[in-house]
Amino acid sequence: MAEPRKERNTEAPEPMARPVGGTEYSWCKAVPTGTGITVLALLLSKHPNIQRLQTALNNLQNNHPILRSKLHSGADAKTFSFITPPEPHIQIQHLDISSTSQTISDKTGAVSPFQLILEHELNRNTWTNPSHQSNTNSDSNLFNVSIYTPSETQWVVTLRLHTSICDRASAVAVLKELLRLMTGREEGGIEKEYDRKGEVSLGIEEFIPSGKANKPFWARGVDMLGYSLNSLRLSNISFVDADSPRFSQVLRLQLNRDETGRLVEGCKSRGIKLCGALAAAGLIAARSTKYFPSHQREKYAVVTLVDCRSILEPVLSDDYLGFYHSAILNTHDVNGEEELWELATRSYTSFANAKNSDKHFTDMNDLNFLMCKAIDNPGLTPASSLRTAVISVFEDPIVDETNKLHQEIGLEDYIGCSSVHGVGPSIAIFDTIRDGWLDCACVYPSPLHSREQLQQLIDDMKKILVEGGSFGNGETGE
């Protein structure tokens, strides 16, 4: 007798879901306040092929399930989950010249349309009210794409992502893969981001090597107390307007090829990394804005972000998308008479010693907890500014070279950075060495700090770096 015919299952696949990890949770708390909106802006001289871009984005979401996830929160906005539909669903928002001109405006003409569009996207917060989101609400999408038309010969493509699913390394990986997909250069298959349990892009805490994050209860208490007490003694860049609603603005610090080469050589000759020099220049410039007597010390905090992919277990590839950075916070006394290389060495050595002691793992929960406490209680910070440090830097810069893919799509410029007008530093440095040129996107909260105030500080930083680079062979310059 023939077996009964089996009915075909016509039901659509169910979305995957998982609760957010500890670090991801801190970003879910931070983004509604205005910190953690990651934007990658591409300036093009050729009109983007919309159909090809849409196909590329669909493929990108297929290759990386985390990019098609939505953010779902509980009714009390105290619990968060990633809901990942089985199919790509991204839609491109296209603004013509008229719509673009209505969206951005700068009566002074001091800021380029490209930068104004970047700043506009940094302040487009579709995650402001997470408690009102649902898994069917398009505003909960963690990945959004827009095309702006500032002129008849220029177009700006922006990718806006929730930082909980996209750290700086992820943004670089997305850019590279998107360019390959747009130009038909994608080769071979992409390994899906599933772990052995079939879940999508687990949080960083799931990959920390066994024992690396262990800390005795008493030590955790002492460190938490130390972080809290130290925060009360930290100095900041003077606040211009601490009461008005805040938004993020961007300035660029750029060095030419020769200046960059000398600066990098100066770091190498002293056995330190570029992050030490950038942090030192920022501290010296910040201290120079204070009219205190010589030798009067001020204590400043520096946050250094570490891409942990290569030291996780298992090791994660560079194109494994998610947030896999950790932070190390160091404080430094500055009296206004420091020379760049002395302070750069001191800054980098403090960071390196902390990293060698696994502070980026052992203190991860502490810093996440304090970040959430500051968000819930802004009055715990000076002038309710939510400033946790004067400057943040990355351990390593992004290194990029112009290639044929850039030329094919007419890529003239690009900037990748994240917003900081909620909780965070006064200046967040996103550094890239592109074609041998140092290009830093410096993001700051306005009007807590003004563009004029921060432009002067960035100019001072550049001068300090250029003069310090003149002694790249290890001389002190004295």
> What is the separation of C-alpha 275 from the centre of its chain, rounded to a whole number of angstroms?
15
Q: What are the Cα distances from residue 81, in Å, to 214, 398, 415?
A: 26, 30, 29
pLDDT of 144 reads: 96
pLDDT of 197 reads: 39
Q: pLDDT tens across 329-361, in order?
A: 999 999 988 999 999 999 999 999 999 999 999
pLDDT of 306 reads: 98
Mean pLDDT of the residues in the chain: 88
Residue 3 DSSP symbol: P
pLDDT of 52 reads: 93
Would the CA dihedral through 421, 423, 426, 432 be positive or negative? negative
CA distance 122 to 143: 13
pLDDT of 227 reads: 62
Per cent of the chain over pLDDT 70 is 86
Q: Is 210 helix (H, G, I), strand (E, B) or coil?
A: coil
This prediction has a pTM of 0.91
Does the fold of domain 210-469 match that of domain 16-182? yes
pLDDT of 187 reads: 47
The residues with which 38 forms a beta bridge, in sequence order, are: 161, 418
Backbone torsion region of residue 34, taken as left when φ is above 0, otherwise alpha when ψ lies between -120 and 50, otherwise beta: left
Residue 138 DSSP symbol: G
The residue type at 426: S
CA distance 305 to 320: 18
pLDDT of 339 reads: 94
CATH assignment of 16-182, among 3.30.559.10, 3.40.50.300, 3.30.230.70, 3.10.20.30 = 3.30.559.10
pLDDT of 206 reads: 94
Q: Is 85 helix (H, G, I), strand (E, B) or coil?
A: coil
pLDDT of 216 reads: 62
CATH assignment of 210-469, among 3.30.559.30, 3.40.50.2020, 3.30.460.80, 1.20.1050.10 = 3.30.559.30
From the CA atom positions of the chain, what is the Rg in Å? 23
Domain ranges of the chain: 16-182, 210-469
Q: pLDDT tens across 389-419, in order?
A: 999 999 999 999 988 888 889 999 999 999 9
pLDDT of 195 reads: 38
Q: Which of 202, 219, 165 is nearest to 312 (CA)?
A: 202
pLDDT of 477 reads: 42
Angle between helices 364-376 and 217-233 (to 10 degrees): 50
pLDDT of 469 reads: 82
Q: What is the mean pLDDT of each run of 10 residues along the chain (478 residues)?
A: 50 78 95 96 95 95 92 80 90 94 81 95 86 46 96 96 96 94 63 44 92 70 60 87 97 97 96 98 94 82 97 93 96 91 97 96 92 91 93 97 88 96 97 97 98 97 93 49
| Spatial contact of 38 and 93, defined as CB atoms under 8 Å apart | no
